[in-house]
Chains A and B, each alone.
Chain A
Amino acid sequence: MNSVNVDKYSRSLFRPTTVLVEDEASGYPLTESILSRLPNAEVVVIKRPTSENLVRLSQQFSPDTTLLLGSHRGRFLKACPGTAESYRCCLYQILHLGLGCNIGCSYCVLQGYLNNPFITQFVNLDDAFAELDRELERPGVFYRIGTGEFTDSLFMDPLTGLAPRLLDYFGRCENAVLELKTKSVAIAGLLDYPGEIGETIVSWSLNAPQVCKKEEGHAATIEERLTAAALCRQRGYRIGLHFDPLLYFTGWQDEYRQTVASIFTHLEGSDIIWISIGAFRFMPQVKEVLKANHPKTNITAGEFIRGIDGKQRYFSDIRRQLYRFLVTEIRRYAPDLFIYFCMEDKYLWQDTFGFAPADNQELSHWLDKCCYCFVDK
């Protein structure tokens, strides 16, 4: 492992002082391992809570300092909810191992979706892997699987030690690639991993420095994220980058230009498997929640129209401006880098790139091909 400030990379962004353990979650190795890393935390064993009980519990135990360990009963592997067919989605698969994170991004849409106020870690990993075994048996199907949809993939990895467990599994998978998405630099578990890492992708969500500072809570700075990305690349991981959500604000061009320039001071274009771009969008009901949770932010006070999928989106001319600018900037450094839109319509694809995926399957296939290309390299 590179000797650069090791401590920084092995620090969990979340250090709970209380751990609520569902009775069904007791005794699992992951439960024991997490509790052993929190010797001073108050441990409270609870019955599996209903959503109403969760609200009550949140008044008793602060969600800011409490971790909930639970046993997941439903499916672990789920299709990314994406959005309506009018917008192109990449048919990503989510490995659902946890919920919530404490980074505190003002724009986080999970604020409006989750009815569980606690950061939650599911501990019945063997059930998850058994389900993956069954699913990945399907012949001729390639899976892009991520853990960063309902949580940040790495923000408390030093506490859970989950990334190495996932690498144990996906490092030997031939028809699936794992993408870990984060805004943290908790990469020690990845750098120290002694085994085969396979085609695992480590991705960072990026934004303008000003957005990072004002809207992304205590996420790592853009420089820190990119430094961590470079270290992961040195270790052999594929690097993905996600500009999502793009925000439209005074001076956005200079700000995003700065971030793009930073990318290529840390990484070569060929180090990056893909860059996704998506402009800020949210379900209408999220607006009030977001304003209540982050009274200082003004990100929802823009020129938002109701999209065909019912989500609030910037008016298309604004999205077009954002996309064309960012794509042009990226192309200056890496003309051949694969860039795609997350949940965007074919007209904006066409306007920006000059081509558009005919449907979600085609976009999915393009991303799968990126994975194969990396395998070939």
Chain B
Amino acid sequence: MNSVNTSSCYLADIDFDDRTFPFSYGLLPASLEISVVKVGLLQPPLLLSGDKGLKIVCGRRRLEVLKRLTDGAEKISFYLVENSSAKELFRRALWENLAFREFNLVETADIYVAASQLFTADEIEREIMPALKLPLRPRFRLRCQAITEFPGKLRDLLALGIFDAETVDLVGEWSDDERSALTDLVKDAGLRRNKLREVVSRLDDLARRDKVSPLKFLSAARKAAFCEDGSIAVELLRGHLKALLYPHLTAARQEFAINQEKFSWPANLRLDPPPDFEGGDYRLSFTFTDSREWEKICDKLNSVALEDIDELCQRG
């Protein structure tokens, strides 16, 4: 950096809308707020003169906390950088941030896309992508590009860590309407990471299978899982989608359950098919507390006709 001078300004002089250096997105950690309340800004932020005010190069999160706490009336000290290229400042801010924290998905995407405007392809591969822990594969570049174009509501959920990267890839090709409906579902059903990925994956598979919009299945699943109190029952939602995507497997499970009902077994005796009926090993399990219960179970088992077992295990 060529020149850094210490200076002071009011928070109102800072252009918070400028995202030339997009190193922060999403909820600010409570610990940061506590720190600012207790001791203020220990380390002056790095700012740069801009057309609409001072641009934030480094220290946005602390400044945003302070702005929220003081309504912008606070006067602060800062480092004013001059005679430095945007690229050099970007690099400095990147490594400064990395020294303290990991970026969320939105930040990573924003940084990658912004860096792509400043750095050469070779610099991106040798420095920026490794710094962001992005593998050198086209799909990761495409993912970043997609995230920067997502609607704000969805980006907010991503920044909160509710979506994982795989889910982001799935919705990458969805339309804004489809993403918006998904965002509503996520909020209403309280879906999080793994279950959300499963739901999105099934919606995506169904849409691809039938070559229709995922909205068709999303709306139907919403209805199927709608509770009287206005909430969405996650298990009903998952079950509905699973039955749609796995009609044969669902039918096989139902058939197995009906066949097993014929035995009128007590609750402590059960027969399970192989997981997803793959392979051939059925599992018989029971619990007992004494010899009387043991005897009862043995009687029940002895009373089963072998033809019924054959029927139960018969597939196809």
Interface of A with B (CB < 8 Å)? 52, 55-56, 59, 86, 288-289, 292, 295, 298, 300-303, 305-308, 313, 315-318, 320-321, 324, 345-347, 351
Contacts and interface: CB of A to CB of B under 8 A. Distances in A.
B169 interface: yes
Interface stretch (B12-20, B32-40, B45-53, B277-285): B277-285
B280 A303 contact: no
A56 B277 contact: no
Contacts of A289: 139
A52 B275 CA distance: 39
Interface of B: 121, 125, 136-137, 139, 142, 166, 169, 173, 204-209, 211, 245-249, 252, 275-280, 315-316
Given A320-B315, A351-B316, A303 B246 contact: yes
A322 to B, nearest CB: 11
A317 B249 CA distance: 8
B41 to A, nearest CB: 41
B248 A308 contact: no
Contact of A298 (B121, B139, B209, B276): B209
A316 B315 contact: yes
Nearest to B204: A301
Given A298-B208, A317-B277, A345-B279, A303 B248 contact: yes
Given A298-B211, A320-B315, A315 B205 contact: no
Interface of B is mostly: helix
A317 B316 contact: yes
A315 B249 contact: yes
Q: Which of A298, A302, A316, A321 has the most B CB atoms < 10 Å from its CB?
A: A316
Contacts of B142: 292
A373 to B, nearest CB: 31
A315 B276 contact: yes
Contact of B278 (A56, A59, A313): A313
Q: Which of B142, B252, B278, B280 has the most A CB atoms < 10 Å from its CB?
A: B278
A59 B247 CA distance: 43
A308 B315 contact: no
Given A52-B136, A295-B173, A303-B248, A345 B280 contact: yes
B58 to A, nearest CB: 30
A346 B280 CA distance: 9
Query: What 9 pairs between A and B have smallest CB-CB spacing?
Result: A305-B276, A301-B208, A301-B209, A301-B205, A298-B208, A320-B316, A347-B280, A55-B136, A315-B249
Contacts of B173: 295
Given A292-B139, A345-B279, A347-B279, A317 B252 contact: yes
A301 B205 CA distance: 4
A306 B276 contact: yes
B227 to A, nearest CB: 28
15 contacts: A52-B136, A56-B125, A56-B136, A59-B121, A86-B279, A298-B208, A298-B211, A301-B209, A302-B205, A303-B246, A315-B248, A317-B248, A317-B252, A321-B316, A347-B279
Contacts of A295: 173
A151 to B, nearest CB: 22
A308 B275 CA distance: 9
Q: Which of A289, A301, A306, A320 has the most B CB atoms < 10 Å from its CB?
A: A301
A14 B269 CA distance: 62
A324 B247 CA distance: 20
